[in-house]
Amino acid sequence: MKYLLVVDLQREFAKGPIGKHVYAKSLRYIYDHQADYDAIYAAFYVNDTSQNENMIRLVGWTEMMDEEELSGLQFPYNYRAPHTGYAIPDYPGFTKEDTVDILGFDTDACVLNACFDIFNLGCKMRILIKYVYSSGGMLMHLCGKMCMRRQFKKALCRK
């Protein structure tokens, strides 16, 4: 199977002109390429302190506290998974035979964590780096990208 893993592609993370551009470009990619995938898996972030207090306690992140107030997912998907930390709770039966393409926000946080997850599951993976960015800005995006280049080398895809 071929999956598209969309990590936190939420308007709330699309900060600044570059973030907004990557967000819009990523939505176009999903709509233009949805037929290329057997399924689209959408992970989205909710800052739920009843599940994970560390985002406020350690990181100081107080945004996105109410799922009702979030912009929602603006693209088609087959699976949907909320998460409250950096990790996505589960993947829909990904196996070593599967190929997983990854895009979304934040390069230096949830996308990076998802890449480690997919790597550890043994799946074939491609990080669609043109469709990845950080709400922390260009410097944080570049830091995350450097980690990805070191850890996943040939998985970075510039398509």
Confidence of residue 68 (pLDDT cuts 50, 70, 90): low
Instruction: List the beta strands (DSSP E) in the chain.
Output: 2-7, 39-45, 79-83, 99-105, 124-133, 156-157
Which runs of consecutive H residues, i.e. helices, occur in 42-158? 54, 110-121, 138-152
Residues with Cβ within 8 Å of residue 36, at least 6 apart in sequence = 2, 4
Residues with Cβ within 8 Å of residue 142, at least 6 apart in sequence = none
Query: Residue for token digits 């900060």?
Result: 15
State the pLDDT at residue 52: 77
Kindly tell me if the per-residue pLDDT of 138 is higher than 80. Answer: yes
What confidence tens digit (pLDDT) does each residue in 107-123 have?
999 999 999 999 999 99
What confidence tens digit (pLDDT) does each residue in 8-51 have?
999 989 999 999 999 999 999 999 999 999 999 999 988 887 77
State the pLDDT at residue 15: 94
Kindly tell me if the per-residue pLDDT of 2 is higher than 70. Answer: yes
Kindly tell me if the per-residue pLDDT of 69 is higher than 70. Answer: no
Q: Where do the domains of the chain lie, and which CATH numbers do they carry?
A: 2-157 (3.40.50.850)
pTM to 2 decimal places:
0.92
